[in-house]
Amino acid sequence: MKVYDKIKVRYGGRCVELMALFDTGAGGSYLSDEVAKKIGYKPYPEPRRIPLAVKGHEAEVIGYVPEAELEIAGHVLPELESLGVIRGLYVEAIIGRNLIEKYGITLEEGQIGFREVPPRASLLMVDVRYDFEFSHPMAAVDSGRSRRSRRPLCRPGRSLCLSGARLSRTARALQQGPDEDLMGRTAGA
């Protein structure tokens, strides 16, 4: 889904208001090189290429704006964010999944909003790089099945995205280990 809306970006004592494309198909968030020149950015020694959705096409990321403050739909995001700078970007900015998911940005009927106001970062990425499939009784609780029923939380080499109440429950469960439930009991006991 793609929606356009005005945002404000603050960095280095400068502020620009611009039109951003909120794009759920974009993995990252970027500014055009023209906008980045107005507020300042850190160039890469060599441009980096990222693939586009069009086969055989790439964009040149020439630098980044570190620790930018973003104001979206009248709300200042609680964390400073890094934005890539793309040479020749056809829009002033792209807000991608990295920020849409992190802050619960909603794109409904062409309007930008938030699941929670004020917005807050509520996303945890758990990077699982084991050679086995990780299961935990908590996964069965969240799926509405009995505690003894186990399903994988994550397959090897994949990332696990959780948010809100499930995030806190699952984080506690992960700290206790795969063989204990939230009460500290051994699974199956």
According to the model, what pLDDT value does residue 70 have?
Answer: 97
135 located within any domain: yes
- 76 and 163 part of one domain: no
- The overall average pLDDT reported for the chain is 75
Rounded mean pLDDT of 89-97? 94
pLDDT tens digits along 125-174: 444 333 333 444 444 334 444 444 444 444 444 444 444 444 444 444 55
Same domain, 55 and 98: yes
Kindly provide the b/e burial profile for residues 86-120, where b requires at least 16 CB atoms within 10 angstroms of the residue's own CB: beebebbbbbbbbbbebbbbebeeeebbbeeeebe
Domains identified in the chain, total number: 2
Looking at the domain assignment, is residue 162 inside a domain?
Answer: yes
Shared domain check, 32 and 55: yes
Range of the domain at 149: 123-176
Model confidence, pTM: 0.64
Both 109 and 128 in one domain: the answer is no
165 phi-psi bin (left φ>0, alpha ψ -120 to 50, beta other) = alpha
8 and 68 in one domain?
yes
Residues 9 and 97 in one domain: yes
pLDDT of 122 reads: 65
Residue 83 lies in a domain: yes
Q: Is residue 189 part of a domain?
A: no
Q: What confidence tens digit (pLDDT) does each residue in 113-129 have?
A: 999 888 888 645 444 33
CATH code where residue 14 lies: 2.40.70.10
Among 32-41, 102-111, 149-158, the range scoring the smallest mean pLDDT is 149-158
Tell whether 38 is covered by a domain: yes
Range of weakest confidence among 15-19, 97-101, 156-160: 156-160
Domain end marker among 114, 133, 151: 114
Name the more confident of 85 and 163: 85
Residue 183 counted as domain residue? no
Say what the pLDDT of residue 75 is. Answer: 95
Q: What is the pLDDT of residue 36?
A: 96
pLDDT of 182 strictly over 60:
no
58 has a pLDDT exceeding 50: yes
Decide if pLDDT at 5 tops 50: yes
